[in-house]
Structure formats: structure tokens, C-alpha cells
């Protein structure tokens, strides 16, 4: 019986040792390569995006292949990439032990750059364009306690409207303003992050909003007390749109 017990203990010890070494090997494998939360990024000129490093050993270094197109800085495991001019390049990331991996980078001109100088309240999408002062009705930009942002235009007869809704989980809308953002909400797999409802002659059609971003947030003029106006770009049904308005009310 004693021999059996000793034998059993020896086998158990070997099994546990094997588990231990396998676990160690798995840990080594996790540090054997560099990966990122996204392998490629698109950023507008003058704006930034962050890529998170996984694996490898800190500290990391990030070097753009073309430093005239983009620049990269490192803070722990975060690689911040800023667009400098239109074009494509890569950023090579190297860890403490010399492991390398690259991030594809595309820098584009902001299609709404020229819109930043116009603070007129409006919404544009596909063939629809409603502008305060030219189109009668009510324009509202609101944000609820659950962080749902709603931009709406409704005509006086209430049989025509454009209503854009999305979640602002990072509180970009309603912040202090004077901001430009590369992106606020986006799903690479075209998952809906909001909804655009278009009503014409009382008939409503819903479209999935697959991305939105804060283009700009600042007062419409330099007069004291002027509320902050928000320029919000969005994509619905694969078509780009823009909504511009001050935050009318924050609802509970």
C-alpha cells in the first residue's frame, strides 16, 4: 500500500509539474509576438487615434515609415498616431526584446473641413438638406441622462422630419467645447451605433447609423454667453451626413 501511495504521489507530482510548465509555455507564447487592438487605422489630417499594444515586453517604440505623413508617440501600451498630410504609411512598433509588428496608416483630408466655418443649424444626409432660416420647423439637439444624443428637425405640420439618435458614451457632446475629434463612435463590422429616421408625408423609414464623430465643438461667435455649437458627422445606410446645432437642452 505504501509503495502504491508513493507511486501515486510521484505521478501526481509529475502531472502537476507538466501543467506548470505548459502554463509557463503559454505565458511565453503570449509574449512571443506583438498584436494590436486594430491592425490598420484611418485618421484625418491634424487629428489623432490610439492603438493599443498586446503582447511583447514594454517599453515600446513606434516609428513611422514616412514621418511626413504621420507621427507616433508611445505612452505605456498606447500608440498615438497623428495625421500630418494625406497619404498612406506604416508605423513599426518594437518592444524591449526587439519584437516587431506594423500598423497600416491612412491619412485623409477631412471632408467636412470647409463646413467648420459655418455654424448655421442644419442637417444634411443623402438628398436631404434642412437649414434653419430657410426651412421652417423646429431644430433641436438634446442629450439624455443615459447619454443618448438626439438631433431632430420637424416641420410645422409634423408630417416630415429627420431624427438622428446615437449613444455618446465618452461624453463628447456637452463637454467644454473647443474640441476636434478623430472619432467618437464607430463599428468596423457595420454594427448599428444609432438610428436615423426619415419621415416624409407621414411615412417613416429607419436607417442604421454605423458611425459618428465630433467634427468640431465651439461657440458660433465670440460674444460672451454664446452656447457651444456641435458639428456631428455620421454615416447611415453607407451615406455620409452632417448635423450642426448648439445643445438645446440636457434632459433627464
Question: Does residue 116 contact residue 178 with C-beta atoms inside 8 Å?
Answer: no
Domain boundary residue, one of 71, 87, 108: 108
In a domain? residue 55 = yes
| 28: number of Cβ within 10 Å | 9
Do residues 178 and 245 share a domain? yes
In a domain? residue 24 = no
202-251: per-residue pLDDT in tens?
A: 999 999 999 999 999 999 999 999 999 999 999 999 999 999 999 986 55
Q: Give this prediction's pTM.
A: 0.72
Closest of 81, 84, 77 to residue 104, by C-alpha: 81
Do residues 123 and 193 share a domain? yes
Question: Does residue 164 contact residue 234 with C-beta atoms inside 8 Å?
Answer: yes
The greatest distance separating any two alpha carbons of the chain, rounded to the nearest whole angstrom, comes to 97
Query: Could you tell me the residue range of the domain that residue 57 belongs to?
Result: 36-108
49-86: per-residue pLDDT in tens?
A: 999 999 999 999 999 999 999 999 999 999 999 999 99
Do residues 52 and 144 share a domain? no
In a domain? residue 122 = yes
Cis peptide before 3 (omega within 30 of 0): no
Question: Does residue 241 contact residue 225 with C-beta atoms inside 8 Å?
Answer: no
Rg (CA), the chain: 26
In a domain? residue 226 = yes
Amino acid at each position: 500500500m505504501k509503495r502504491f501511495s508513493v507511486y501515486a504521489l510521484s505521478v501526481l507530482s509529475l502531472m502537476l509539474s507538466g501543467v506548470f510548465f505548459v502554463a509557463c509555455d503559454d505565458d511565453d507564447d503570449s509574449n512571443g509576438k506583438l498584436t494590436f487592438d486594430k491592425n490598420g487605422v484611418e485618421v484625418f489630417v491634424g487629428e489623432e487615434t490610439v492603438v493599443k499594444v498586446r503582447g511583447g515586453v514594454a517599453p515600446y517604440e513606434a516609428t513611422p515609415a514616412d514621418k511626413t505623413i504621420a507621427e507616433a508617440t508611445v505612452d505605456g501600451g498606447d500608440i498615438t498616431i497623428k495625421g500630418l498630410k494625406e497619404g498612406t504609411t506604416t508605423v513599426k512598433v518594437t518592444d524591449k526584446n526587439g519584437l516587431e509588428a506594423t500598423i497600416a496608416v491612412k491619412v485623409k483630408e477631412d471632408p467636412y473641413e470647409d463646413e467648420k466655418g459655418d455654424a448655421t443649424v442644419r442637417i444634411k444626409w443623402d438628398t436631404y438638406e434642412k437649414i434653419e432660416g430657410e426651412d421652417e420647423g423646429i431644430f433641436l439637439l438634446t442629450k439624455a441622462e443615459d447619454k443618448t444624443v438626439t438631433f431632430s428637425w420637424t416641420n410645422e405640420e409634423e408630417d416630415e422630419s429627420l431624427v438622428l439618435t446615437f449613444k455618446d458614451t465618452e461624453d463628447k457632446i456637452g463637454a467644454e467645447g473647443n474640441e476636434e475629434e478623430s472619432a467618437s463612435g464607430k463599428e468596423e463590422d457595420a454594427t448599428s451605433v444609432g438610428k436615423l429616421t426619415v419621415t416624409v408625408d407621414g411615412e417613416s423609414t429607419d436607417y442604421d447609423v454605423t458611425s459618428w464623430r465630433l467634427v468640431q465643438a465651439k461657440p458660433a461667435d465670440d460674444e460672451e454667453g454664446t452656447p457651444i455649437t456641435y458639428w456631428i458627422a455620421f454615416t447611415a445606410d453607407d451615406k455620409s451626413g452632417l448635423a450642426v446645432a448648439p445643445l438645446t437642452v440636457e434632459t433627464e
